[in-house]
Structures are given as structure tokens and as C-alpha cells.
């Protein structure tokens, strides 16, 4: 399901339906003929069938003039958004969903197109061949290298000021860099410990539970003064008007629904993206939510013998924009784009 795979005519039809709300096929034909010239009813019918197949629109009514078309609830989830234009609008002036959307769990089906799934599968076969061909010592070194890169970048996204070389020295030799806080060193070492825990228990993450998410969070926030359990208080997120759930029971329910959604989803890459986005969206913990989401995503990937991400080439600001877009619009398009790039980067740059 992706608007980039549509023809110009289909894209115009979609935009027209989005603008008008509810339309009949006669209105669509009239509009398209005005924009592109003469077109047959059967051609427009085929276009509408494709849009229905992609779950971008919904059909109401049974036959004839009673049939109308409208935008589906899933369209807003996947439609391409001009990221620069969106964030050029000040935070307080953006039109956003300020509260948690309880319908979100039904809007995350088919977030990757067949073309994208095939691309990811092809890349993953390259990764699996690399793993098969690499020596045990080589594999150990590459895992360590990826873990260092991930620990550095994931921590940097959270404001950690260690550079990559300092992170390598800390992880390999337990030497803390001067001019940095103990908390920064702890954050990085906790990433290392969590990555090792996930790798040692990778098969366990084929099925996701609230307890497993809590365990990842506990490893990540050890000795950092962060409450281990699901939060009972309100949290605010910098740079957005979106406010997560503030009720412990609703938070647990949302997390349970997240696990159910992930476990029901067949495609490994969709599982990982859905889990990452929903953990970040729910904000189940007082702190460490996005770290937990990134590690949980890698846990899913590794459990199904897929290449984990390092995020090494990820721009921190763009990552935050992608997450904010999901908070405010429940839109996955930019996050998905970054995920695809990072997966390709990981396959190309690690394991031989």
C-alpha cells in the first residue's frame, strides 16, 4: 500500500476523493476529463478497483448511482508527506492529533508494498549468505562492530555526547572518556548489555509480550534512576502538541494490543516497524521509550534471522521528524523510508 505506485490519473482520483469527501463515479469521470481529457467509465472503474485493492479508498452502497467512494482510514497512514514543508510550520500551528488514537491498531496493515517487501527480502538473503560464509571469528568481530555503532548512534539520538571512537574504547576496554558524565557511559554500556541479552535470547522474541518489552527497558535503564514499571504519570514530549496516554490501565491495554498486532502480522519487517512506532507512540515508561523501541525492533529482526539495524548513517533530526510525524499524523511514510535506507545500509556495511 503506497501512493508512489499509482499512475498520474489514479493519483488525481485519490486527491479528488480526499478533497471532496464522498463522491460518485460520475463526478470522478467529469473531474478527470477536465484534467486529462476523454476517459472511459471502465478505465475509471479499473482505477477505483486498484485504489480499493490498496486500501486507499472505501466503497459505500451496492449498485448504480447509490455507490460512492471515500478515503479509507488507512490512507492517512501511508500517504507521502512533504517533510520539509510539514516541519516548516511552527509546532503550535501544525494541525495534529493531540490525543492517542485508539483506532491505530487497525490502520497499520500492509504498510510495505509488495515491491518494498521483495526488496527487503532480497537484501536479507544477501545478509543470510554473508552470515553463512563468514568465519566464527569474523562473525564475532562484526557483531561487536555493529553493536558499537548501534550503541553510539542510539545514545547520540538521546543527546549522549560520546563520539564513535570514545564509544568503542568504552565498550571494548571499559575506559570512560574524560569530559563526559557517568550517566552517558552507563547509557552506552546498557545498550551493549541489552544487545547481548537480545542475541542470547533471540528466539524468544518471535512472539512479543509486555513482559519482554519491560525486560528490554529494564536492561536499557539499569542504574540510571528510571522507574522500571509502566508509568503512572503524564509525560510530555518536546516539540509536539501530542500528549500520550496518562492512565496506567490504558497504557497496559495499548501495549497488550501492540503485542497482539505485532504477533498477528506476518511480515518480519512490518512487525519491526509497527513495534518500534507503537512503543514510541504509547510512551509506556517514564524514560527510555525510544531506546526501547529501537532495541525491540532489532529483537524482532534478529529473531527471524534478519539483519539488525545499526542506525550509524541515520541523521538524528530526520529520525525524530519521522517519529513526530507518526505521533501527530499517524503517518508511517517517512519512518518507513528511513527504515528501508537503514536496512540496506546494514546489509551492505556489515558481516563481510
Q: Are residues 281 and 143 in the same domain?
A: yes
Where among 72, 101, 126 does a domain terminate? 72
Would you put residue 293 in left (φ > 0), alpha (ψ -120 to 50) or beta? Answer: alpha
* Domain residue limits at 11: 3-72
Q: Are residues 183 and 292 in the same domain?
A: yes
Q: Are residues 56 and 114 in the same domain?
A: no
- Residue ranges, the chain, pLDDT below 70: 1-4
How far does Cα 193 stand from its chain's mean position? 23
What pLDDT, on the 0 to 100 scale, is given for residue 320? 97
Question: Is residue 83 domain-resident?
Answer: no
How far does Cα 124 stand from its chain's mean position? 18
Question: Is residue 87 domain-resident?
Answer: no
Q: Are 307 and 124 in contact (CB under 8 A)?
A: yes
Q: Are residues 127 and 16 in the same domain?
A: no
Q: Are residues 283 and 159 in the same domain?
A: yes
Question: Is residue 149 domain-resident?
Answer: yes
Q: Are residues 36 and 164 in the same domain?
A: no
CATH number at residue 121: 1.10.3290.10
Q: Are residues 235 and 274 in the same domain?
A: yes
- Please count the structural domains in the chain: 2
Would you put residue 94 in left (φ > 0), alpha (ψ -120 to 50) or beta? Answer: beta
Q: Which three cell numbers stand for residue 256?
A: 497488550
Q: Are 224 and 209 in contact (CB under 8 A)?
A: no
CA distance 250 to 231: 11
172-187 pLDDT tens trace: 999 999 999 999 999 9
Q: Are residues 122 and 250 in the same domain?
A: yes
What pLDDT, on the 0 to 100 scale, is given for residue 3? 66
Amino acid at each position: 500500500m503506497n501512493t508512489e505506485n499509482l499512475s498520474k490519473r489514479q493519483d488525481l482520483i485519490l486527491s479528488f476523493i480526499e478533497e471532496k469527501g464522498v463522491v460518485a463515479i460520475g463526478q470522478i469521470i467529469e473531474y478527470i476529463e477536465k484534467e486529462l481529457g476523454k476517459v472511459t467509465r471502465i478505465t475509471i472503474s479499473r482505477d477505483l478497483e486498484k485504489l480499493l485493492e490498496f486500501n486507499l479508498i472505501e466503497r459505500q452502497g451496492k449498485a448504480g448511482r447509490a455507490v460512492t467512494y471515500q478515503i479509507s482510514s488507512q490512507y492517512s497512514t501511508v500517504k507521502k508527506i512533504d517533510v520539509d514543508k510539514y516541519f516548516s510550520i511552527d509546532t503550535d500551528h501544525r494541525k495534529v492529533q493531540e490525543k492517542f488514537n485508539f483506532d491505530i491498531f487497525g490502520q497499520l496493515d500492509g504498510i510495505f508494498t509488495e515491491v518494498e517487501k521483495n526488496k527487503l527480502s532480497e537484501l536479507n538473503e544477501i545478509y543470510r549468505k554473508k552470515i553463512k560464509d563468514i568465519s566464527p571469528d569474523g562473525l564475532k568481530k562484526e557483531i561487536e562492530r555493529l553493536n558499537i555503532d548501534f550503541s553510539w548512534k542510539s545514545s547520540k539520538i538521546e543527546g549522549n555526547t560520546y563520539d564513535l571512537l570514545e564509544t568503542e574504547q568504552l565498550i571494548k576496554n571499559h575506559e570512560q572518556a574524560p569530559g563526559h558524565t557517568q550517566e552517558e557511559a552507563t547509557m552506552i554500556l546498557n545498550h551493549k548489555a541489552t544487545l547481548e541479552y537480545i542475541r542470547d535470547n533471540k528466539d524468544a522474541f518471535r512472539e512479543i509480550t509486555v513482559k519482554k518489552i519491560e525486560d528490554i527497558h529494564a536492561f536499557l535503564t539499569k542504574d540510571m534512576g528510571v522507574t522500571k514499571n509502566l508509568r503512572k504519570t503524564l509525560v510530555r514530549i518536546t516539540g509536539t502538541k501530542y500528549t500520550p496516554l496518562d492512565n496506567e490501565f490504558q497504557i497496559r491495554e495499548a501495549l497488550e494490543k501492540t503485542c497482539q498486532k505485532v504477533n498477528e502480522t506476518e511480515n518480519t519487517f512490518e512487525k519491526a516497524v509497527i513495534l518500534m512506532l507503537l512503543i514510541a507512540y504509547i510512551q509506556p515508561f517514564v524514560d527510555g521509550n525510544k531506546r526501547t523501541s529501537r532495541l525491540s525492533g532489532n529483537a524482532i529482526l534478529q529473531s527471524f534471522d534478519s539483519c539488525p539495524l545499526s542506525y550509524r548513517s541515520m541523521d538524528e533530526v530526520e529520525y525524530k521528524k519521522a517519529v513526530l510525524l507518526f505521533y501527530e499524523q499517524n503517518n508511517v511514510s517517512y519512518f518507513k523510508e528511513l527504515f528501508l535506507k537503514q536496512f540496506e545500509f546494514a546489509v551492505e556495511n556489515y558481516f563481510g
